[in-house]
Chain A
Amino acid sequence: MTHLGYLLAGWGLSSFIVLLYAFRLIKRGAQLSKRVPSEHARWISSPKQNSG
């Protein structure tokens, strides 16, 4: 296979960055979920004036 280094760099870097971002989202979500009452945690269960 030609250009293997470029292929691994492109696919590898992109996958790593997306996975890192997804992991940070999950972690931040878990941290915040512990501090927010469940009735306000999701837009679907939150007071009507905020639901869009």
Chain B
Amino acid sequence: MTSSITTASKGSKILGLTSLVGFVVLVLLAFFVTDPDIRFHPETGEEFGQFDAVRLLYLHVPLIAVTYLAFVVCAIASAGYLVKRTFWWDSMAHAAGEVGTLTCALVLITGSIWGRPVWNTWWEWGDVRVMSTLILFLLFLGYLALRGAFVSPQRAARPAAIVALIAVLDIPLINRSVEWWENRTLHQKSTLSELKIEDLTLFTLMLGILVALLVMSWLILHRFRVAWLEHAEFEQGIKTAIEERRQIDNED
């Protein structure tokens, strides 16, 4: 007896559809409705700013927000696993860790693409926020590699949970880096917390964060279901192997 041929459910289909519609609205707002960032020098009257490159921030900033959230979920689920020792917590940690690593890679990619026209560089090795984000990405890449190094998911769960709990400590460092090492970064201080943006720009950024949250939730949900199926298949394989061995023993 087999289940339906998909990991989707009615809820996940609604979530997926809402994410797609939200993404289309976001693209329309980001590309065609919001204004480019053009400012004028108070003395010379010369134009400066990010111009249309600012439209990349409606993607880059939401990706940062969901990356933090996914890794925090991974750490909470890892702590849950260390306390409860059940596969549910481990699967949730694995799903959130994998999705977080993907969005963290996209943060680095979109940041690099945005940096070229605005900072005139693809990559800045001396920037403390860029480097601490790269470290976060590498830590969780190591987390996933560690999980993949074990044949049995149960054996990987405990060391992976410990790595996740250590790796997540990098997030407050990234977030505060522009305050603590303000002379060693090209990044500006928090735009959102100081409310330097308003109206449509703020709305589009908030919508971007909401859409990114919906997409992340959909991805984690499906990755969790895949992890659950992988576990079920692994357990089934062990049971089948034991039964076959018993049959061979009985025949002997």
Contacts and interface: CB of A to CB of B under 8 A. Distances in A.
Interface of A: 1-4, 6-7, 9-11, 13-15, 17-18, 21-22, 25-26, 28-30, 32-43, 46, 49-52
B106 A14 contact: yes
Given A7-B31, A14-B59, A26-B6, A36 B229 contact: yes
Nearest to B4: A33
Contact of B88 (A22, A32, A38, A51): A51
A10 B102 contact: no
Contacts of B7: 25-26, 29-30, 33
Interface string B1-20: 11111111000000000000
Contacts of A11: 27, 56, 59
B114 interface: yes
Interface in B32-89: 36, 51-53, 55-56, 59-60, 63, 80, 84, 86-89
Contacts, number: 137
Secondary structure class of chain B's binding surface, majority of residues: helix
Given A30-B7, A33-B5, A6 B56 contact: yes
15 contacts: A3-B117, A6-B56, A10-B56, A14-B110, A22-B218, A25-B226, A26-B222, A33-B7, A35-B2, A37-B1, A38-B3, A41-B3, A41-B228, A43-B224, A50-B231
Contacts of A50: 86-88, 231
Q: How large is the interface on B (under 10, 10 to 19, 20 to 34, 35 or more residues)?
A: 35 or more
Given A25-B219, A36-B3, A37-B1, A17 B8 contact: no
Contact of A32 (B31, B91, B105, B230): B230
B113 interface: yes
B225 interface: yes
Nearest to B6: A30
A42 B229 CA distance: 7
A36 B232 contact: yes
B232 A25 contact: no
A14 B23 CA distance: 12
A35 B53 CA distance: 48
B51 A3 contact: yes
Contacts of B228: 41-43, 46
Given A21-B102, A32-B229, A14 B84 contact: no
Given A34-B2, A35-B236, 19 more contacts: A2-B51, A2-B53, A11-B59, A14-B63, A14-B110, A25-B222, A26-B8, A30-B7, A32-B230, A33-B2, A33-B6, A37-B1, A37-B236, A39-B1, A40-B236, A43-B224, A50-B88, A52-B80, A52-B89
